[in-house]
Amino acid sequence: MLNKNAHLVENLFDSNITKKPTRDGFGSGVVEAGRANSNVVVLCADLSESTRAQWFEKEFPERFVEVGIAEQNMAALAAGFFAAGKVPFIASYAAFNPGRNYEQIRTTIALNESNVKVCGMHAGVSVGPDGATHQMLEDLGLMRMLPHMTVINPADAIEAHKAVIAAAAMTGPVYLRFARSASPVFTTDETPFEIGKALTLWESEKPQVAILATGPMSYRAVTAASALESEGIGSIVLNIHTIKPLDNKAVIEAARRTGNVITVEEHQAAGGFGSAIAELLVREYPVPMRIMGIQDVFGQSGEPDELLEYYGLGAPHIKDVARAFLEKH
How many whole angstroms separate alpha carbon 296 and alpha carbon 303? 20
With cut-offs at 50, 70 and 90, classify the pLDDT of residue 329: confident
- Beta strands of the chain (E only): which ranges? 19-20, 40-44, 64-66, 87-93, 117-121, 150-152, 174-177, 183-184, 199-203, 207-213, 234-239, 242-244, 261-268, 289-294
Class for the domain spanning 6-17+192-328: alpha beta
Lowest mean per-residue pLDDT among 100-109, 128-137, 158-167: 128-137
Q: Which residues are catalytic?
A: 71
* Domains 6-17+192-328 and 19-184 are alike in CATH topology: yes
- At the second CATH level, the architecture of 19-184 is 3-Layer(aba) Sandwich (3.40)
Q: Are 23 and 48 in contact (CB under 8 A)?
A: no
pLDDT digits (tens, 9 = 90+) for 43-79: 999 999 999 999 999 999 999 999 999 999 999 999 9
How many whole angstroms separate alpha carbon 211 and alpha carbon 214? 10
Rounded to two decimals, the pTM is 0.95
pLDDT digits (tens, 9 = 90+) for 145-188: 999 999 999 999 999 999 999 999 999 999 999 999 999 999 99
Sheet holding 40-44, edge to edge: 64-66, 40-44, 87-93, 117-121, 174-177, 150-152, 242-244
SS3 205: coil
Q: What is the largest CA-CA distance in the chain?
A: 60
Share of the chain above pLDDT 70, in %: 95
How many whole angstroms separate alpha carbon 284 and alpha carbon 278? 10
How many whole angstroms separate alpha carbon 306 and alpha carbon 309? 5
Q: What is the pLDDT of residue 3?
A: 55
Q: What is the pLDDT of residue 4?
A: 53
Domain positions in the chain are 6-17+192-328, 19-184
Q: What is the pLDDT of residue 87?
A: 98
Q: Taking residues 262-273, what's their average pLDDT? A: 98
Question: Which residues on adjacent β-strands are paired with residue 213?
Answer: 239, 264
Q: Which residues contact 298 (CB under 8 A, 6 or more apart)?
A: 132, 135, 137
DSSP 268-315: ESSSSHHHHHHHHHHHH----EEEEEE-S----SS-HHHHHHHTT-SH
How many whole angstroms separate alpha carbon 3 and alpha carbon 17? 19
Outline where 123-242 has alpha helix (H). 139-144, 157-169, 217-230
Mean residue pLDDT of the chain comes to 95
Share of the chain above pLDDT 90, in %: 93
With cut-offs at 50, 70 and 90, classify the pLDDT of residue 328: confident
How many whole angstroms separate alpha carbon 313 and alpha carbon 217? 8
With cut-offs at 50, 70 and 90, classify the pLDDT of residue 128: confident
